[in-house]
Amino acid sequence: MSNLPNRNKSKYDEKVRQLRKLSRAIIPELLSDRPLTSKELLLQIEKRFPEYCNPKIICKCNNNIARPEWQHQALWAIQDSKSYKHISFDKVTKRYYKI
């Protein structure tokens, strides 16, 4: 049994995983004044949580895109917020809105 892989072990540190939770909480607030693009949301998240946004930790999910993992997690938080119906996306303007 001791040779089995640890399924609870993440390939990223706690700060990277925590950023997704923090981002989900802040995204509706960021959109309360005006709609934003995903790029603008990423910039705002990085400003709010710089200690969680390490550009040296590169996402290992897609070899075609060399993106920092913090951006990947923040983009997932945007999708989570859409799924929870806290925000919506306008395909014409390419901006997210608070619902």
Could you read off the pLDDT of 25-73 as tens digits, one per residue? 999 999 999 999 999 999 999 999 999 999 998 888 866 778 999 999 9
Q: Looking at residue 9, what is its pLDDT?
A: 54
Could you read off the pLDDT of 87-97 as tens digits, one per residue? 999 999 999 99
CA nearest 42: which of 29, 60, 30, 57?
30
Tokens of 55: 């550009």
> Side-chain half-sphere of 77: how many Cα atoms within 13 Å?
24
Query: CA 81 to CA 74: how far, in whole Å?
Result: 11
Query: CA 98 to CA 5: how far, in whole Å?
Result: 41
Domains of the chain listed by start with CATH number: 14-98 (1.10.10)
